[in-house]
Every structure is written in structure tokens, then in C-alpha cells.
Amino acid sequence: MTSQTEFIPFPSRRSVVHSTNGMVACTQPLAASCGLKILASGGNAADAAVAVAAGMNMAEPCSTGIGGDMFCLYYDAKTKKVSALNGSGRSGAKCTLKTIRGDLKLEDGQSGEIPMTSVHSVTVPGAPAGWADTVAIFGSGKLSLEEILAPAAEMGERGFPVSELTAHFWASGENKLRKASSNFSEMLKEDPSVGDGFRAPKAGELFKNPNLARTFKTLGKEGKKGFYTGRIANEFVKVVQDLGGHLELEDLVHHMELGTERVDPISLTFNDEVEVWEHPPNGQGIVALMALGILEELERSGKIPKFANMKHNSTEYLHAIVEALHISFADATWWVTDSNEVDVPTKQLISREYLAERAKLFDPTKASHIQHHGSPAHNHSDTVYFAVSDRDGNAVSFINSNYGGFGMAAIPHGCGFTLQNRGANFSLDESHPNVLAPRKRPYHTIIPALVTNKYDGSLHSIYGVMGGFMQPQGHVQVLLNQLAFKHNPQKALDAPRFCIGAGMPDAGEVTGQIVYLEDGIEEKVVDELRSMGHNVELVRGIKRSLFGRGQLIRSRMEGEQVVYSAGSDLRGDGGAFPAW
């Protein structure tokens, strides 16, 4: 059933999709249908986004799920206000640095990290509360959570054909599922012809997940209490503790009672044209804002030409963005952590004064290999992303993730979902701001983006590029594709990208010095970047998944009518789907 073993070569054959009644852009057509059903039933963008999130969990569990975390940015068309929800979970009350270092057999003074396959990487799932709170806070009020989750639950009960790339990634994670817990068969397909009778589903094959459907129904009927207490919570804690973890029922109840955190989104005005909105730390969206601010300072100072005068993906263009991101990541890997636990100088990090100072580290002639963070306080200065809009002009930029593929991959008995491994991002260095501590949230890679027009606050676009530490890098590149090179939404996503580092911790050094360039970037540019001191590797074929999978919905007004134009990444299975 596989149509092609490698990704489609450039250019994409996908066209921009237009609509006036709303749009869903995601990597799974079946998940999009869940959202479109909700829009057709009178729900708004927020209601539809939660339906898509559940549908994505069902159709692409190797990337996302109810056992993970979520973040969203919501644009209210009436007020032109951008709001944010942080749906990330925390470590357990008994997850002290001393306890976890001891469990990992680390001696005093010995450096180390939490393995992505370790039960100690599991944090409390924030997605269930996040879904419920998204509907409660931003929803239309016309549909219940039970109604919103019903299309995805029906998919799990009736069975659904598995999409092409999802089948590839599901197969890649099969052994991880098997090793993580004894309940692995819940998320594999029964097949008497193979060893133990279970395997990953192949492209086009039907897969049923009645246990996940039951989980959705419980959350829908009982709300957050149905997940964070009772049967699901008990099974969650049991599988964690059976594996030697320290999460307890009280940790789940604690998260339920706190609820999803409403936070003030952070923004940066870019080129006096648009305002770019991101989540504040513990999310890494600040990396994108810092990089954009540094690039703007480089333009102002004349260190680089105006972007409009550069050739797209030329040597000078890529060198400038790579260096700006290196500087930004150097700061973020130190400063991004739970801002409720640590004083993170967010405003100073994206201030013009600080970014101008950091921009001085840029050398237009060579790679600088910057690894040290700045001190603004002293200067006084596989995840899924999807986008949903509705006929009234409201829009949601939404992201949900297990972190690394299936996450830690353990499955609570009878629940049909895997546990995330977000805790692997904690530092085990007691002097680090992102150090592990009880009931703390780690550095988070998943970030939605939203752009408004500076002149009137109207919606410009919602977009995101999933893929670990690739995400802020994708945000910068896709935005510049639109603004500097006037790419339409599909072309902005199709264009070859670069990624600093491996993207995910289990693939290599995530913010290391290797610059991965995607097939489609000229060989001449590759050679010239190497001559400047960049450690460059060219990536082809299926390995291009490193560069993430993005979705983008542009918005404009034609008279009194909102018109949406959307693109969906050719590196994923899905597309952009209009509501009618």
C-alpha cells in the first residue's frame, strides 16, 4: 500500500487551499475530519482543535497523545486578543534530584542525564486537562467535551486505515513499545503469523484502539476528574511504579486541581510589519523571537543585507540565520525552564538592547560556534502541530506531543496510550536553572506560533513546525519565507530547510554544531558554508523528517469576509482541509 519509499522530491505538487468558513491543517486527514465535523456542528476553532488533537492521538500515536502535553495560542477575532494556555505537566513530589540521581547510579559531581527510555523521564500528562480547559475557556459553549471527543473515539472503535509515514514511524517505534511495558499489545496489530502475534500496522491496514476510545469517552463524560482520578489514574500510577518510578496519585490530583495555566504570550514586532507571538518559558518559543530580533539588529547595523535583497537559501542568508539561532539557543539552553519555579528574565532576553548586544557576536565571514549564554539580568536590559480557524475569524495554533515518538512508550493497562518522556529535558546539574526538582516543569520543545498585523492587530497567520529542537528554527525559516520572499503558504513550507543539531536527543546532540541542510539546497552553498567553518551535512530521503512537519494558515479580509489560505508540509501525511 506504500506509494513511495522516500519523500516526494521538490517541488511539492500540493496547491494552496482556500476557504471562507474555516480550515484545518494537520498531518492526518482523518484527524482533520474530526475537526471539520465539529465546525459543521456549530463548534468554533477551539472546539475543533481539541477534536483534531484527539483524532491525531488516534491516527498518529507515534507522535502525540493524551499521555503527553499541549500548548495553544488562541486568537479572538472580536477582541483581536491573543491568549495562551500552557498545558505542560510536572515532575512528581518525590522526584528529587538526589532520588533520581541515585536511581540512575550517578555519583556526586558526576554529570549525567535522564535517558528518554527511563521511567524517570515520565511527567504528569498535561494534555487531558489542556483539552478540557481549552474547550471551557475558549470554546463556543455549543458542544460538550463528550461531543467534541466523540469522532476520535468512533475512529478507535470502528478502526481506521493507517497513513503512510505514520506506518513507517510506528514500525520504527515497535521495539520501544515492546521493551517499555507488558501492555505493548494494546498499540500493536494482532497477527498470528508473527512471533508473539503482534506487530506494527502497515500503511493502509485497519487499526482499532478501543481502549483509547474508552479513555476519550471517560474524559468526555467525567471531565478532568475522569483522567486524573479513578481507573485511568490508578493504571497510570501502577505502570510507572512497577517500572521504578516515583509518580503518585497525589501528583495527578495536584495537576487536575491546578488546571492548565493561562499565561501571557510573549511577542516581538518584526520589521515594523507583523507581531510574532510565542509561549513564554518553559517553552522554547523565545528562541524564535530572539533569533528574529538578532537578525533585525544585523540588518539595522548593516552587517547583513536586507533580506529582501538576498537570494533565498543563499550562503549569506543561511549563515546569518544559523548564527542568530546558535546565539539564541546558547541563551535558551540555560534560561528556559519553569518560570513559576525560577526567575526567568523573559522580557530582558527579547529586549532590543540585549539582542543588539548579542548581535555583536555575529561574524559575517565565518562560523563563530557560540556556546556561552548571556546574562540579561546583568545587562539590565515526534510531536504534532495543527492549525484550526473558523468562519468567525477565530483561530487556534495548537501543539500536542509525547516528545520522542511514542514517548517513554509504557502503556497504562486498558488505556490505549503511551506515557510521555518530557522529563528527559531536565538538567541533573544542581546549579542549572532547569535542574530537576519536585513538581517542576522542564524545558519544553513544543511551541505554537501566531502572527498578527502590526497596523491593526488583525490575524496574519497561525503556523508551527513540529520536531523537537527544530521547532523554533522552523518558525524563523517559514516566517522569513513569507515575509522576505513572499512565498505563499504552501511554498513557505515546501522550501528546503536547515536544522542546527539533531532535532531530538535520541538522534544526537540537539543543539550541537552540525548544521544539517535539506536536499534541494545548492551544492555550491553547502561548499561555501563549509569554507566558512560550518560543520555541514546534507540530508536526503526519509531522513528529511529531521526538518519537521509544518502547517500554516494565512488570514486576510476581503471586504467584510475573512479568507483563509493554507498549506501543509509535504514531509507529512496530511493536508489542509476547508470547512464548508
Burial of 383 (0-12, 13-18, 19+ CB in 10 A): buried
**Are 239 and 412 contacting, i.e. CB atoms less than 8 angstroms apart?**
yes
Helix (H, G, I), strand (E, B) or coil at 82: strand
117 classed as catalytic: no
Q: Apex CA 517: angle with CA 372 and CA 535, to 5°?
A: 45
What are the CA-CA distances from residue 456 to residues 396, 560, 565 (Å)? 19, 15, 20
List 76's β-bridge partners, or say none.
81
**If you ran DSSP here, which 8-state letter would residue 61 be given?**
T
Is 117 in contact with 408 (CB distance < 8 Å)?
Answer: yes
CB 408 within 8 A of CB 420: yes
Nearest to 328 by CA among 282, 361, 301: 361
Q: Which of 331, 325, 336 is nearest to 294 (CA)?
A: 325
Q: Which three cell numbers stand for residue 71?
A: 500548548
d(CA 493, CA 13): 12
Residue 433, C-beta contacts closer than 8 angstroms, at least 6 positions apart: 334, 335, 337, 342, 344
- Determine which one of 383, 445, 452, 511 is catalytic: 383
Distances (CA, A) of 48 to 45, 53, 61, 152, 478: 5, 9, 19, 12, 25
Nearest to 494 by CA among 9, 12, 7: 12
Among 198, 199, 240, residue whose Cα is nearest residue 413 = 240
Provide the annotated active-site residues: 383
